[in-house]
Amino acid sequence: MSDKPKMSTKRKILIAVGVIFVILAFVSTNNDQNDPLASLEYPQNQAAIVEASKTAMEKAKKAENDMQKGSALNERNKTICANLGSLSVDNWVGIISKIDSNSDGFGVLEIQIAKNIFVKTWNNSLSDSFHDTLIKPSTTLFETVSNLKKGQKVKFSGNLFKDSSTCIVEASLSLDGKLKEPEYIFKFSQVTPIKD
């Protein structure tokens, strides 16, 4: 027989809860440290579009059918229109998620402004025929952007585009895409790296 005193069930539960709490705190801290977007401070109009998009994402996750998802999209669009103000934006912040060129050599740029929320140029001349978002190779903007890297934090300016049914032009082809990973079409006028 062992002379060791037995630990009470209550004490075991308290220790287990304490260990779980420490693990959750550690994981939460690491997630914030691994999320480069967490350290960015949004201008007011960028925060409005991000919050409206996040709210719609959450409602879409809970939706039981596409009609409820459509309602979430409609609410997002109304909220963006009510809070965005001008389509012209200055000093928004994000992380470069794509730097590319189309088949004609024009620059294609996508910036993540929050988790699963993007602003981007079109990636082909046909889609871009109404918005002129592709970055022309002969410009200073093209030269600047071509020297940036995927994952780099940037500050940028430019403009979004009005859409009569969705408030601002969004590129996704499906309802789920519009809600879960919105891609707002954007014409960049300036992009500069943020120094850490």
Same domain, 138 and 154: yes
Q: Quote the pTM value.
A: 0.81
Res. 27: pLDDT tops 70: no
Tell me the percentage of the chain whose pLDDT exceeds 70. 83
CA dist 57 and 175 (Å) reads 11
**Within-domain flag for 4:** no
Same domain, 76 and 155: yes
Same domain, 32 and 81: no
Same domain, 48 and 28: no
**Within-domain flag for 173:** yes
Same domain, 32 and 53: no
- Give the model's pLDDT for residue 32: 46
Rg (CA), the chain: 22
Rama region for 129: left / alpha / beta (φ>0; ψ in -120 to 50; rest): alpha
Same domain, 33 and 111: no
Same domain, 68 and 138: yes
Least confident of 34-48, 99-113, 152-166: 34-48
Structural domain of 15: 9-39
Same domain, 85 and 171: yes
Token pair listed for 20: 């779980």
**Within-domain flag for 2:** no
Q: Which residue has the higher pLDDT, 47 or 35?
A: 47
Same domain, 24 and 101: no
CA distances 167 to 36, 97, 114, 161, 196, Å, are 29, 24, 19, 8, 34
Q: Which of 91, 90, 1, 6 is nearest to 40 (CA)?
A: 91
CA dist 135 and 123 (Å) reads 10
Q: Is 37 exposed, middle or buried (0-12, 13-18, 19+ CB in 10 A)?
A: middle
> How many structural domains does the chain have?
2
**Within-domain flag for 25:** yes
Token pair listed for 38: 């967490």
Same domain, 66 and 126: yes
Which residue carries 């585009």 as its tokens?
161
Same domain, 151 and 186: yes
CA dist 111 and 160 (Å) reads 13
- Give the model's pLDDT for residue 20: 64
- Give the model's pLDDT for residue 109: 98
